[in-house]
Amino acid sequence: MSERPGFKTLDKDLGRITHAEVAQMHAFRPVWRLGLSMLALVGVLLIFLALSGAAPGVLATGAGLIVAAWLGVAIGSNDVANSLGPAVGAGAIRLLPGLLLVAGAGLLGAFLAGGAVSDRLAGGIIDLAPVSQGIRGPMVMVAALIGAASWITVATGIGLPVSTSHSIVGGIAGAGAVALGVTAVHWTTVLMIASVWMATPLVAGGLAGLLLAFLRAKVVDVPDRGEAALRWLPGMVATMCAAFAVYICVLTFDGSRLILMQPAAAALAGAAGYGVTHRGVLRELQDHPKKPSTKRLLRPALLIAVVIMGFAHGANDVGNIAGPLSVILKGQVPDWQIGLVPSVILIGAGLAIAAGTLLFGRRLVNMVGSGITKLNAGRAFCVSLATAVTVLGASGFGLPVSTTHVAVGGIFGVGFAREYLDRRRGARHDAMPVEETRRRMLVRRSHVVTITAAWLITLPITACLGALACALVLRATGV
């Protein structure tokens, strides 16, 4: 019996994500054990301080660096498959060069675009001005890092996918409420960030669905796919490259230099993207003139999406480390202004994320690759690009978001768009058994429930853990 489309494609893609999440848990075990060791080491430092009367600033710096380094490794190792998986699966790039490319793009994103999110986390969630010259502010951020790291470690151990960005926001709010009072927390900012967490998956889903509709209308579902690809794909990739180059220029230059550099950078990047894609499409048409593969036609586009996705990941997630760490290190260098994260911290945090990508990314992409990278190349491209654009937009406004949750929103958008287009095309299929229809509905609901539960649970739990850690740290240091 043939199957009606219904939500077949969406269920298939979500099923692959389910298998990928299971594989991801196993691949993440070495980092998880490293997290347990990190928490134990921080605990020993706290006990040592309480017994020896060592300077609180030494503890804050040491504990903050330890926890921040582990979080960077965890972020880099855990999210690399989101960026790299589809391109490796499509054969656009090999694993090792891909890891190097993602690590480099992430580091560049951290340095050029990570300041807004980092500044928001350093001084936008709690008011540190009353304690700007003391050690209490750094201790708040140490406690926030400990609370977030504790929850990520526990959640990973029990198999619950949680977001580092959500955890850090909750940890800062909880620790700040204990150390500085509930009124010191900017609750309107916390609510704004939380609303963005709900909105960004919807935005990514809408963008991914529109991209898929465009690809199918102009390239995939036309009689002569090769000619259509030669007409549309090079220009599409050129536009992507030019827009990304303009974005980089806005981050890097200002004034007259920006006016001069923008057109040149856009022209060069657009020409490079057009040339690479045009050559790749011609090669595919020469090798397979009668039936060109969409997967191979989209290889250059997927490769560009890898770079943009890696950049976006570094731009947004570096703030989870650099923001709190800048407040901690300010206790040792008082000239730093709260809320203004120095470039050296952005680079250091970016290096920690890059180290996680290079050290643990190979195993993760290999294991997840059997699930996520088998997404259709066109759908994978739409999801990757929509996720990158959404995350970069959030980063520009200094809003920390979950890359994984945004990507799953893109998968939903692509799935619903495909099924809608199939129904409009009027294809007739036999009805599925009731049991199969119910099973597929449960697959979709399970993802909605998992993401919603992770979002709802993480913020209050990390706030409580951050508050508890702050109370313990302040008691141990006598601050």
Place of tokens 């977001």: 163
Q: Which residue has the higher pLDDT, 299 or 167?
A: 167
For residues 130-138, give the mean pLDDT.
Answer: 72
286 vs 282: CA distance, rounded Å: 6
Tens of pLDDT, residues 309-366: 899 989 999 999 999 998 888 766 655 555 567 888 899 999 999 988 888 777 666 5
79 vs 152: CA distance, rounded Å: 14
For residues 230-258, give the mean pLDDT.
Answer: 88
pLDDT tier at 432 (50, 70, 90 boundaries)? low
- pTM value is 0.83
Least confident of 123-127, 155-159, 229-233: 155-159
Residue 418 in any domain: the answer is yes
Q: Which residue has the higher pLDDT, 351 or 376?
A: 351
Least confident of 159-173, 214-228, 449-463: 449-463
149 vs 141: CA distance, rounded Å: 12
Residue 1 in any domain: the answer is no
For residues 441-445, give the mean pLDDT.
Answer: 54
Asked if residues 119 and 398 have their Cβ atoms less than 8 Å apart, the reply is yes
Least confident of 30-39, 70-79, 208-217, 342-351: 30-39
Tens of pLDDT, residues 33-50: 777 787 788 878 777 766
Torsion region of 427: left, alpha or beta (phi above 0 gives left; psi -120 to 50 gives alpha):
beta
Q: Which of 19-23, 65-69, 366-370, 430-434 shows the highest mean pLDDT? A: 65-69
Residue 2 in any domain: the answer is no
Residue 221 in any domain: the answer is yes
pLDDT score of 86: 65
Q: Which residue has the higher pLDDT, 238 or 2?
A: 238
- The secondary structure of residue 291, as a DSSP letter, is S
177 vs 169: CA distance, rounded Å: 12
Number of domains in the chain: 1
Whether residue 116 has pLDDT greater than 50:
yes
Tens of pLDDT, residues 283-311: 888 888 877 887 788 888 888 888 998 99
Residue 250 in any domain: the answer is yes
Least confident of 87-96, 230-239, 348-357: 87-96
Q: How many helices (H) and strands (E) does the chain have?
A: 18, 0
Torsion region of 478: left, alpha or beta (phi above 0 gives left; psi -120 to 50 gives alpha):
left
Q: Which residue has the higher pLDDT, 39 or 246?
A: 246
For residues 49-65, give the mean pLDDT.
Answer: 74
383 vs 418: CA distance, rounded Å: 13
Question: By C-alpha distance, which of 397, 405, 396, 400 is closest to 321?
Answer: 400
Rounded to the nearest integer, the mean pLDDT of the chain is 80
pLDDT score of 372: 37
Least confident of 153-157, 257-261, 351-355, 428-432: 428-432
Residue 3 in any domain: the answer is no
List the domain range (segments joined by +) for residue 367.
8-477
Identify residue 128 by its one-letter amino acid code.
L
Q: Which residue has the higher pLDDT, 169 or 358?
A: 169
211 vs 307: CA distance, rounded Å: 18
Asked if residues 151 and 454 have their Cβ atoms less than 8 Å apart, the reply is no
